[in-house]
Amino acid sequence: ETADQLALALRDEVIDLERAGIGIIQVDEPAIRELLPLRDVGRDEYLRWAVGAFRLATSGVKPETQIHTHISYSAQHLVVDAIEELDADVTALVATRSIDWVLDALTGDVSEGAGLTHGVGPGVYESRSARIPDIDELDELLSRAVATIAPDRLWANPDGGLKTRHYWQLEPSLRNLVAAARRVRRRAQAAAEGA
pTM: 0.83
Q: Which long-range contacts (CB under 8 A, 24 or more apart) does 170-176 make?
A: 170/127, 172/132, 173/125, 173/127, 173/132, 173/133, 176/132, 176/133, 176/134, 176/135, 176/138
From CA 107, how far away is CA 95, in angstroms rounded?
15
pLDDT in tens, 69-121: 988 755 556 677 788 888 999 988 876 666 776 777 676 554 555 567 889 88
Q: What is the pLDDT of residue 184?
A: 94
